[in-house]
Chain A
Amino acid sequence: MSDFTHQSDLREELRNAPVEPLLPIEKKLIAWSLGIGLTLLVVLAVINHVFPIGS
């Protein structure tokens, strides 16, 4: 790690990093993650509406 910080500047590291296109598995991860997340949020919002916070 200290090799990294002393021998090659972070800016150089980022500039020289090879381009990595999004793989199908990454696209699937993002899509499923968002899909499940949004669905669960809607479900939770409905539950929240039906059972509001008690006082």
Chain B
Amino acid sequence: MSNAYITDVQPQRAADSAARLNEDWLAVILGLAIFILALAALVNVDLIGWVVSTSVWNNFDHALGPASKGYASLGGIGALIATYAALTIVLSAGAAALKANVTRFALAFTAVFWIAYASWIIGNYANFAAVTPAEEQKFGISWSLKLTNEGAYIFALLAGLIIANFLPRFAAAIKEAVRPELYIKIAIVILGGFFAVTAAGKLGFASSILLRGVAAIVEAYLIYWAVVYYIARKWFGFSREWSAPLAAGISICGVSAAIAVGGAVRARPVVPVLVSSLVVVFAVVEVLILPFLAQTFLAHEPLVAGAWIGLAVKTDGAAVAAGGITESLILAKNAAEGIHYQPGWILGTAATIKVFIDIFIGIWAFVLGYIWTNHINVTRDADKTKAREIWERFPKFIIGFVITFIAGLYLALGTPADIAKNVPAAIGEANTFRVIFFILTFFSIGVLSNFRTLWQEGFGKLAAVYVVSLFGFVVWVGLLISWIFFNGVTPPLAS
């Protein structure tokens, strides 16, 4: 990340922390609001069916449409404008609650939304996204990159990367609305309901997957962190102040872990910020490579692929979104071979692994903080780590994920049949918003990834630790452990 990003973002984040609401709680509120509005469809009141949905296309007239047939009169462009207007109003209100500059946010969000969504539409062009021979025949095309429609996230990411690396002034101008953490957290809250509907039909199977999330916690905190910390300290000679957040960023959950551990070991604020910038850049590299490797080598082990992505890709945004791409690629490859898996399980596994890891960030930060303030940099009592920091560092958006998951499960399994049958369609509308927040996340991650300035600032040594740890250890151990716990387990077949 460039100096511009670091120096400009800090006042913004400072303002955020001064606000009554933080991004985590805002994500919970907005995610739950979308979920609740979607549930009105259970009593045949369609409140959000106007949200725009994109299909694979070779005639632009057929690219866009509202999610619900009840709003067909809006047309595709009408639905797109309605979605833009609604998101701008709601997110601007959220920006106001975060004490951000609302006018600047609304203008920046306008650019973010239209560029990101335009990239998504381009990525859904038939020659990029069509997968099966039947689809190629349907669209009258002789070739396709077979990236699937969710592969279009890559187009949003590339658009962001182009802006970050070739139009830095524009990137700086729209930074107020470049908030990948906010967008992915809203998406994860909505995802809880979607995953519940997927899991409802196979509850035993889903609970088995949830229980295996424990292995991910053990791996990320106790094995990855210790090894990466040792590598940073012993092989690369980094100080403790740098090594602890660096190990957290590489091994646990990217940005939030680096910041939490940086605070716990009382590192200067710049340390986790610089580590976070590195995490984002490498997450981009992982998103561009790992889903395609998973499709090539793990297509017949779909849940190994999902767990691996959840363990290997750092930052919530990149990991969960990469889980979406991986699912799409693997389902497409299997579909071409005549195997039709139920969608939702690969993405659900990746997201579950990530959520389980996130839950313990506060506890790990507390453990390290206790050791640092009592044994390494012994501080006076008032400055020692307090147990309440566990709650302060707890990622609150997970509460939203759990609420929508439990509510979705109850609605699918505990309500009369005439209500339960409408649940998938209702959650499906909320899920359309989830896709839009994924698109915004991908674009935002791209905009924050200025590769050129990273090298100018002398990031080489930090990056070397990252490369050695990530590609020499984290990726492979993650694959091994995913294999141990998920090999031979396949998602249910689509009915």
List B residues 109-154 near A (Cβ within 8 Å): none
Chain A residues within an 8 Å CB radius of B270? 1, 4-5
Q: With an 8 A cutoff between CB atoms, is B402 at the interface?
A: no
B460-495 near A? 1/0 per residue, CB < 8 Å: 111000000000000000000100111001001000
Q: Tell whether, in the assembled complex, residue B219 and residue A37 are in contact, meaning their CB atoms are under 8 Å apart.
A: yes
What residue of chain A has the Cβ atom nearest to residue B217's Cβ?
A40
Q: With an 8 A cutoff between CB atoms, is B59 at the interface?
A: no
B438-469 near A? 1/0 per residue, CB < 8 Å: 00000000000000000001111110000000
Known: A48-B484, A53-B208, A54-B204. A18 touches B239 (CB 8 A): yes
List A residues 2-55 near B (Cβ within 8 Å): 2, 4-6, 9-12, 14, 17-20, 22-23, 25-26, 29-30, 33-34, 36-38, 40-41, 44-45, 48, 51-55
| Cα distance, A36 to B485, chains bound together (Å) | 18
Q: With an 8 A cutoff between CB atoms, is B268 at the interface?
A: yes
| Cα distance, A54 to B460, chains bound together (Å) | 46
Q: With an 8 A cutoff between CB atoms, is B7 at the interface?
A: yes
The smallest C-beta distance from A54 to any residue of chain B, in angstroms, reads 4
Q: Tell whether, in the assembled complex, residue A20 and residue B240 are in contact, meaning their CB atoms are under 8 Å apart.
A: yes
Q: Tell whether, in the assembled complex, residue B7 and residue A40 are in contact, meaning their CB atoms are under 8 Å apart.
A: no
The smallest C-beta distance from B198 to any residue of chain A, in angstroms, reads 15
Chain A residues within an 8 Å CB radius of B489? 52-53
| Cα distance, A20 to B143, chains bound together (Å) | 58
The smallest C-beta distance from A8 to any residue of chain B, in angstroms, reads 10
Q: Tell whether, in the assembled complex, residue A34 and residue B227 are in contact, meaning their CB atoms are under 8 Å apart.
A: yes
B interface residues, how many (CB within 8 angstroms): 49
List B residues 194-241 near A (Cβ within 8 Å): 202, 204-205, 208-209, 212, 214-215, 218-219, 221-223, 225-227, 229-230, 233-234, 237-240
Chain B residues within an 8 Å CB radius of A10? 274, 457-459
Q: Tell whether, in the assembled complex, residue A1 and residue B219 are in contact, meaning their CB atoms are under 8 Å apart.
A: no
Q: Tell whether, in the assembled complex, residue A9 and residue B458 are in contact, meaning their CB atoms are under 8 Å apart.
A: yes
Chain A residues within an 8 Å CB radius of B461? 14
Chain B residues within an 8 Å CB radius of A22? 233-234
The smallest C-beta distance from A4 to any residue of chain B, in angstroms, reads 5
The smallest C-beta distance from A45 to any residue of chain B, in angstroms, reads 5
Residue from A2, A20, A23, A53 with most neighbouring chain B CB atoms (10 Å): A53
Known: A1-B268, A5-B6, A53-B489. A41 touches B481 (CB 8 A): yes
Q: With an 8 A cutoff between CB atoms, is B287 at the interface?
A: no
| Cα distance, A37 to B10, chains bound together (Å) | 36
Question: 8 closest pairs, A vs B, by CB?
Answer: A11-B458, A37-B222, A33-B226, A53-B208, A37-B223, A54-B204, A1-B270, A10-B458
Interfacial residues, chain A to chain B (CB-CB below 8 A): 1-2, 4-6, 9-12, 14, 17-20, 22-23, 25-26, 29-30, 33-34, 36-38, 40-41, 44-45, 48, 51-55
Interfacial residues, chain B to chain A (CB-CB below 8 A): 3, 6-7, 10, 202, 204-205, 208-209, 212, 214-215, 218-219, 221-223, 225-227, 229-230, 233-234, 237-240, 242, 268-270, 273-274, 371, 375-376, 457-462, 481, 484-486, 489, 492
Q: Pull 6 A–B residue pairs with CB atoms less than 8 Å apart, ordered by A.
A: A1-B6, A17-B238, A17-B239, A25-B375, A36-B222, A54-B208
Name 15 extra pairs, CB < 8 A, besides A5-B457, A44-B215. Answer: A4-B270, A17-B237, A22-B234, A26-B229, A33-B221, A33-B223, A34-B223, A34-B226, A37-B222, A38-B223, A40-B222, A41-B481, A44-B485, A48-B212, A53-B486
